[in-house]
Structure 1
Amino acid sequence: MKRLLFPIALTVFPISVAAAEISSVYSELDLKKCEKLALQETEDEGGEWRCRGIRDYDVRVWEGDLRSFVGFGRQAPAQCAAMQTFGAFNSLGPRVEWRMRDGKPFATILRWFTESSADDGAPVKQNWLVVTKLDGADACHIAYVDTKYTDANEVARQRADERAQTFDCAKDMPEIFSARGGSATDYASGMPCPGGPYREE
């Protein structure tokens, strides 16, 4: 009996390790190819779109006052992420990276482009990787990574993998990874989130 236990343990362990593997899946984000749910009278006033994501998660995008907001899945309007955006004028990158564990998405990484003005009026352009936690029906930003930051893509994936499970959207503040320093509220708004819904369905 004792000689049978050891080989059984060896066969079970790799299965548990394989099940915990984390990978990435990508989906396109092009508003021209998305379903228009609402559109304001002028382009600057924005609109609302539903874009194809993965599995049961579509990508909901709102635009207004030259700023973007993004939610994920059927409960997107009720999510914290639906009211989180940068203070600077911004737009979205062309694809969403979905971080997967056991075949299920637990976080996303999306590039945002921001533009503001320096004290002398010169334009200040910056690119960010926004890491968003997917938590059942809710979602919220957990990290902002400046694309000029060393190994920015890997840092964004690491924060998604290590922080998404324990991040509390109602209490915790997103991390900032940028040579400029500062805190999340210096760049963005809408955090932490005491509870939705944040938009009308």
Structure 2
Amino acid sequence: MFKNLFFLSFVFVFAAAAFAQNKSVYTDLAADKCKTTDVDKGMPGNYSGKCAGVGGYDLEVYLDDERNSIGVVLPSKKTVGLDFWNYFGNFSALGEKAEWLVKDEKPVALIVRLNVSDRGDEKPPTSYLIVSKISATGACVTDVVKPGKSQNAQAQRLADKASNKPCKKIQ
């Protein structure tokens, strides 16, 4: 009897933990996969596009003077800018995909790759992962993950906890 009870407790704990985990859903950020919403023909390098999201949320992609950022379009249709250019002033390019962490069919966090070029340097860009929390009323950057061997896993761990973290201060 005790063994059966112990076994059932063990199964219940692990089932609850598995059930509570966020699920990753990937969407495209590439310009050819998003709908162009604005192009400034007088200023090369300026573009805005709307990309499909999940759970009633979408993303707006911004390119301004060869610097990229993203805005989260809430179900209310309000757009909240994540202002990546406030964290990096150098030229930048977004990765091809956005990773949404979803709980109960609603996004709770977002991970986006941002490739940042060093000024006047011929080295390859530095690839950061930007972690943001998302709620029904807003969104903000919580963490910037530097390159490293476990960068993806670290970003996912931070994203799992993002909803309880404060917004990252602009440097």
Short-chain TM bin: 0.7 to 0.9
Unaligned runs of 5+ in 2: none
Code of the aligned partner of 2:70:
V
Amino-acid identity (%):
26
1:110 aligns with 2:109: no
Code of the aligned partner of 2:136:
G
What does 1:21-36 correspond to in 2, within 5 Å?
A: 21-36=21-36
SS in 1 for 2:163: coil
1:145 alignment counterpart: 145
Answer yes or no: is the 8 Å Cα contact 1:97–1:110 preserved in 2.
Answer: yes
Answer yes or no: is the 8 Å Cα contact 1:80–1:138 preserved in 2.
Answer: no
1:127 alignment counterpart: 127
Answer yes or no: is the 8 Å Cα contact 1:40–1:47 preserved in 2.
Answer: yes
Answer yes or no: is the 8 Å Cα contact 2:134–2:163 preserved in 1.
Answer: no
2:78 & 2:122 partners in 1: Cα distance? 32
What does 1:138-177 correspond to in 2, within 5 Å?
A: 138-147=138-147, 149-162=148-161, 164-169=162-167, 172-173=168-169
What does 1:1-201 correspond to in 2, within 5 Å?
A: 16-42=16-42, 44-74=44-74, 78-81=79-82, 83-85=83-85, 86-117=88-119, 121-124=120-123, 125-147=125-147, 149-162=148-161, 164-169=162-167, 172-173=168-169, 185=171
Give the CA deviation at 1:68. 1.1
Answer yes or no: is the 8 Å Cα contact 2:73–2:79 preserved in 1.
Answer: no
Give the CA deviation at 1:142. 1.1
State TM-score, norm by structure 2: 0.79
